């Protein structure tokens, strides 16, 4: 049993370690517009602007961030970001705006990806 667990850890850890945190993704990409509200982007830490979005919840926000909406480019315009990295960046911003969302599970991320794919096909 212990060997299996070690093998699993060895397989999973490198991939997980390369994933950027929500804060890192925000600082590298999202801040370009969400730092000062360029093109009407909801401003980081502005609870008034984020309050409505936080109520909509992650099932709305993450697929929107993955697929893009109006002047918000898909994945914040950075196609190199993984689904999980985009999701964690959304959570980082939503929580700075008054949300209390936990770290996403792999199931959450898959569900959000599928929802975004449906929107992209429209
Ligand atoms: C080029 C500018 C730009 C960048 C970069 C950008 N955004 Fe946005 N974002 C916008 C704009 C503009 C809106 C407002 C869109 C609207 O409602 O018309 C927005 C809205 C959003 C929303 C709210 C969507 C909703 O349902 O109304 C989320 C969530 C979001 N962005 C996440 C992100 C994340 C995560 C990143 C970084 C990976 C990012 N954005 C990078 C411009 C940007």
**CB of 64 sitting under 6 A from ligand 1:** yes
**CB of 73 sitting under 6 A from ligand 1:** yes
What is the best residue among 44, 58, 65, 82 to mutate for testing ligand 1's pocket, by most ligand atoms within 8 Å of CB?
65
C-alpha–C-alpha distance, residues 69 and 66, integer Å: 9
What is the best residue among 19, 34, 96 to mutate for testing ligand 1's pocket, by most ligand atoms within 8 Å of CB?
34
For residue 106, give the nearest of 89, 82, 73, 90 by alpha carbon.
Answer: 82
Question: CA-CA distances (angstroms) from residue 10 to 41, 46, 104, 111?
Answer: 40, 40, 21, 26
What is the best residue among 52, 65, 72, 90 to mutate for testing ligand 1's pocket, by most ligand atoms within 8 Å of CB?
72
Question: CA-CA distances (angstroms) from residue 42 to 22, 34, 77, 105?
Answer: 16, 6, 16, 25
CA torsion sign for 100, 18, 71, 44 is: positive
pLDDT in tens, the chain (122 residues): 666 665 555 555 555 558 999 999 999 999 999 999 999 999 999 999 999 999 999 999 999 999 999 999 999 999 999 999 999 999 999 999 999 999 999 999 999 999 999 988 76
**CB of 120 sitting under 6 A from ligand 1:** no
């Amino acid at each position: 049993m212990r060997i299996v667990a070690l093998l699993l850890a060895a397989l999973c850890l490198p991939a997980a370690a390369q994933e950027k945190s929500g804060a890192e993704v925000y600082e590298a990409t999202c801040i370009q517009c969400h730092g000062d509200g360029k093109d009407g982007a909801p401003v980081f830490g502005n609870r008034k602007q984020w309050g409505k979005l936080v109520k909509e919840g992650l099932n709305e926000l993450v697929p929107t961030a993955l697929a893009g909406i109006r002047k918000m480019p898909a994945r914040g315009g950075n196609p190199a970001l993984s689904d999980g990295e985009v999701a964690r960046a959304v959570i980082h911003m939503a929580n700075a705006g008054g949300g209390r969302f936990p770290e996403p599970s792999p199931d959450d991320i898959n569900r959000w990806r599928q929802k975004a794919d449906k929107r992209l096909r429209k």
